[in-house]
Chain A
Amino acid sequence: MGTPCFLMPTNRCIDFILQKNITLCILETQAFIKLSELTQRIKDVINLQFGEQSFWVLAEVSGHKFYPNPERHYFEFLEKDEASKQPIAKVRAVAWSGGSERIRVFEKETGQQFGNGMQVLTLLRVEFNAAFGFQLIILDIDPTYTIGKIEQQKRDTLERLLRENPDKVSRVGDDYITFNKRQALKAVLQHIALVGSPNSEGFSDFCHTLQTNRFGYGFQLDVFQSAVQGEGADREIKNKLIQIFESGRKYDVVVIIRGGGSKSDLLTFDAYGLAQTVARFPIPIVTGLGHHNDVSITDLMAHTATKTPTKAAEFIVSHNRAFEEALVYLQQGIVIKSQQLLAQHNKRISQAREAVVNQSRNLLINYQRSLMAFTTQLSSKPSILINHKLNDMLHLQANLKSHVNKLLLWHKGTLNHYASVVKIMSPENILKKGFAILSVQGKIVTDVKGLEKGNVLMVLMEKHQIETIIESIKENNGTKS
């Protein structure tokens, strides 16, 4: 049985009470009380002082132990001196089922696993248990304080990444562009460096998804074992990355995964050193850190962030599938196009053949036709020509005949006319009509010129001739006999 003073050395109030009780025992010469009586008294004092009172207290968790069945958290609350980092207050604390339930809610809301090193704001009650001693009972825990704190830390870390790595990390809107993100993914990802904890659920999920991919793709997986949560995990992962880089092996991609389970401890992946290494890493990094609500800084810096290890594996498989689909698409294109091309050429050739056959036949027919036309022309034209000529001749002949007759008739008429005129004008006729012809010395006289008195004038009548001598010549006054 230990001395009571062991119970709570840090609590001055209790120290004082204890010392007083011990003094009493000694004074009443060997008189004593049972330990339980003592603890009962302590309990009474504490109850009197604190009762059911509760306090919101800000403190750091250390020496944390968790028992799942039933859920219990045992740990110590610490307060360190800001400057020296030495503990200036330390009290045992416990979360019974009520408090553990609150812690579960807290973990869910903050995405953080309740544990060592965490600054938390808790509502607690002071209790003294006769068997277990002095302790703080967790009634509630405030997630908003922790969330705010984590967010602040994250913002600070991101700012620091931008500030200290201007050539490797930049921000465009809400996105961070890192050297790692600028690394082009190879068309096919097969040689993989895997960083994770082989015993975790996520690790086997990742391996299983890769190995049983339905396309039968093969992968070469090199495992770089590392703790992925808890104290120092960030440095261990960072060292694994350095190891991968220094191995000189040409990995297509580095995958960082963290196993399933509902509890999250993203602080590891918000650490500056790890985030910086990821941002600057020359091989594309794919993350699958098993958290759904929040994105870690490592996720922001990595080439591709997926939600879970399974999703990371699916990403790699579907990336390779996309390449194969492109190949299949090209292959189909080549098959279809070459068949189309062949069909097209076959068609063209048979069209050309048709054209040559038909058109040369047509051409021959055309030539034949024109030859026939010539032949017909040749055989018919001369006889037509001769006929025409013959007709012309006949025509001409007929014309000639009628013309000649006409001419003859005309000439006949004219002759008759002349004949009658001649007949009329003939001296016999004239003599018959009572006219006489005068002549002197054998010459017919129509004028008196040269005639004179005494000339012998012969008067010739139809049946008789009179010889007269001219007695006188007088002017005819125009009377007709």
Chain B
Amino acid sequence: MELNLSYEEAYAELKNIAAEIEEESVSVDVLATKVKRASELITLCQDKLKATEKDVMTIIQQMESKPTP
């Protein structure tokens, strides 16, 4: 799995796979591969989101805990 994929790239690919599966244009030959890929992309996106969320929350907390001058 390419770990250097950006969130946006991963999400775009994930959306593509979901659309392909929905349109039933995925053959059985590659369905497993596609689903596996989708699962990897979901994990990647979620990891990135969680990391970002944690960072953002920390920053927000710092921002809000700063006393107003």
Contacts and interface: CB of A to CB of B under 8 A. Distances in A.
Interface of A: 215-218, 324, 328, 331, 335, 338-339, 342, 345-346, 348-349, 352-353, 355-356, 359-360, 363-364, 366-367
Nearest to B46: A349
A162 B5 CA distance: 68
A216 B18 CA distance: 55
A342 B21 contact: no
A363 B69 contact: no
Interface of B: 7, 11, 14-15, 17-18, 21-22, 24, 26, 28, 31, 34-35, 38-39, 42, 45-46, 49, 52-53, 56, 60, 63-64, 68-69
B60 A342 contact: no
A348 B63 contact: no
B24 A352 contact: no
Nearest to B66: A331
A324 B68 contact: yes
Contact of A356 (B42, B52, B69): B42
Contacts of B69: 215-218, 324
A335 B63 contact: yes
A342 B53 contact: yes
Nearest to A216: B69
Nearest to B50: A346
A364 B26 CA distance: 10
A356 B64 contact: no
Contacts of A356: 14, 17-18, 21, 35, 38-39, 42
Contact of A338 (B24, B34, B46, B56): B56
Contacts of A348: 11
A218 B69 CA distance: 8
A360 B21 contact: yes
B52 to A, nearest CB: 7
A216 B67 CA distance: 11
Nearest to B44: A349
A345 B68 CA distance: 32
When A and B form their complex, which 4 residue pairs have the shortest distance between CB atoms, in order from nearest?
A356-B38, A359-B21, A355-B18, A360-B35
Nearest to B26: A363
A353 B21 CA distance: 12
A367 B28 CA distance: 8
Contact of B18 (A338, A346, A352): A352
Given A359-B22, A360-B38, 11 more contacts: A215-B69, A328-B68, A349-B11, A352-B42, A355-B18, A355-B22, A356-B18, A356-B42, A363-B21, A363-B24, A364-B28
A29 to B, nearest CB: 95
17 contacts: A216-B68, A217-B69, A324-B69, A335-B63, A338-B56, A342-B53, A345-B11, A345-B45, A349-B45, A352-B14, A352-B42, A353-B39, A353-B42, A356-B14, A356-B38, A359-B22, A363-B24
Contacts of A346: 46, 49, 53
Contacts of B14: 349, 352, 356
Contacts of B42: 349, 352-353, 356
Contacts of A331: 63-64
A331 B59 CA distance: 11
Contacts of A364: 28, 31
B31 A360 contact: yes
B42 to A, nearest CB: 5
Given A338-B56, A352-B15, A356-B39, A345 B24 contact: no
A322 B17 CA distance: 50
A342 B24 contact: no
A328 B64 CA distance: 10
A356 B17 CA distance: 8
A324 B49 CA distance: 31
A363 B31 contact: yes
Nearest to B19: A355
A339 B18 contact: no
Contacts of A352: 11, 14-15, 18, 38, 42, 45
B5 to A, nearest CB: 14
A355 B63 CA distance: 37
A366 B18 contact: no
Contacts of A345: 7, 11, 45, 49
Contacts of A367: 28
Nearest to B35: A360
A327 to B, nearest CB: 9
B45 to A, nearest CB: 5
A416 B64 CA distance: 125
A355 B24 CA distance: 12
Contacts of B49: 342, 345-346, 349
B68 A359 contact: no
A342 B21 CA distance: 26
A342 B52 contact: yes
A217 B24 CA distance: 65
A355 B21 contact: yes
A147 to B, nearest CB: 47
